[in-house]
Amino acid sequence: MEAEIGRGGMGIVYLASDEGLGRKVALKVVSPELGNDLEWVKALRKEAAALASIRSPHVVQVHAFGRHEGACFFVMEYVRGQTVRDILAEHWLHRAQIPLHRALTIISRLAAGLDAVHETGIVHRDLKPDNVVIEEDTGRPVLVDFGLAVTDPTERWAMSGGTPLYMAPEQTHLSAHTTVSPRTDVYAFGCLSFELLCGRPPFDDLVAAQVLHDHAHTSPPAISQLRPELAAADAVFRRALAKDPAERHATCSAFAQALMAALGVTECIDPPPPSPRRERYDSSARRVLVVDDDPAFRRFATRAVQLAFYEESLELVAAATGAEALVSAWRQPPHLVLLDFDMPGLDGVGTLSRLRSLPQGDQARVVVMSAKLGEADRWRFSVLGVGDFVAKPIELEQLIETISSIAARTAWPAQHAPGHDAAAPSSHTAMNAAFASASAAAS
């Protein structure tokens, strides 16, 4: 174990190393008093098996479950990044909203993950921003904590019921006869989605008892009261937050789809018109997209990419606008994106929020480049999973080093063994020539 990274009523989560497979993992150690209850151990083992069967990129993967010296533990995928709670707090401090397209993409992705959870018979019961991490580098939203999840809807109810701000009315009764279902999670997901769009949940009184009363007896505010431009979504939230579970959407994805349809937002941009000829792609190539409205810097950055990957198969596309970049990413998802922040039309934030919604868009590592990007601007990219920034102007060698460093920690497709052409110049000769050419172009 390397460090404690989380603590709650169910136990403590540590960052640990899996020495056998050479990877970082999250080790959740359940509180010892729970580990001594054989019925709890049996229930935890059952839930671990169910969670391990889930295959969704938006649900943390469970690798193993065990018991050591009376304490139960889970070994899980380690997702490095910020929680949605942290991201919401940053936006609140700057009096800003998460970009609408990005918020809807997070909602759509999480809905798919929650549907996968429900298909195994699990009800989460404690959905909240603290339990969702936006992965650093990729922007992938991941549901990471199942501390109160149940496979039996009436089991263990009296011990814990969730977090008041996101609890469904049926969770507030604290009765032995209370039954939870996937529609309980639909309600909590509606509260979480409301907060993603507005910066606050539907009921946010400082007194927990008042919040619980409001969930059970008070009609939630219309989202248009906080954001008039989202009035079309009022009916969708009214249904998701219905007091009677039978009146809610049947699944989280049904809610997400209704929300996007009401707001006239599709998950992906419209497909580009067909090309005169079908493009062919090397499935093993490193696909890199450079986006910058400055032609000189665009040429400079593409040269740096070529030098960073000079011995490898490379598919490099340069785009002058965010719209061009999105069309390119639609046709072939990039592995790495070098993105200018300050562009006319769609700026870097707008471009990336849409790119993340494309198929495989949350698998791309992104480097943001700007001469104007300050510390106050960087938080805007946190919700998009960006941790790498380049300040313009930059020396060619420095940019190559930055790209190479990021490439070293990027999951690339398998490379075919490079061929050796006797007539081709040596690597050192080619590298020196390329440096000379790039330096001349940059001067």
Burial degree of 168 (CB within 10 A; 0-12, 13-18, 19+): buried
Any residues with CB less than 8 A from the CB of 267 and at least 6 apart, and which?
Answer: 104, 105, 108, 260, 357
Determine which one of 37, 86, 126, 347 is catalytic.
126
411 close to 422: Cβ distance less than 8 angstroms: no
The residue written with tokens 């020396």 in the block is 395
Burial degree of 435 (CB within 10 A; 0-12, 13-18, 19+): middle
Beta bridge partners of 77: 25
Token pair for 175: 């009765």
Token pair for 401: 């080093």
Cα 179 to Cα 173: distance, rounded to the nearest angstrom: 10
What stretches of 120-207 show up as alpha helix (H) in DSSP?
Answer: 182-198
Closest CA to 406 of 322, 293, 305: 305
Q: Give 98's Cβ-side CA count (13 Å radius).
A: 27
Closest CA to 188 of 266, 130, 267, 264: 130
Token pair for 348: 């870097």
Tell me the DSSP string of 185-209.
HHHHHHHHHHHHHHSS-S---SSHH
Q: Residue 126 catalytic? A: yes
128 is in an annotated binding site: no
Quick one: which H or E segment has residue 23? strand 23-30
At residue 405, φ and ψ (nearest 5 deg) are -65, -45
| 3-state SS record for 326-388 | HHHHHHCCCCEEEEECCCCCCCHHHHHHHHCCCCCHHHCEEEEEECCCCHHHHHHHHHHCCCE
Question: Which residues belong to the active site?
Answer: 126
Binding-site positions for ATP read 28
Binding-site positions read 28
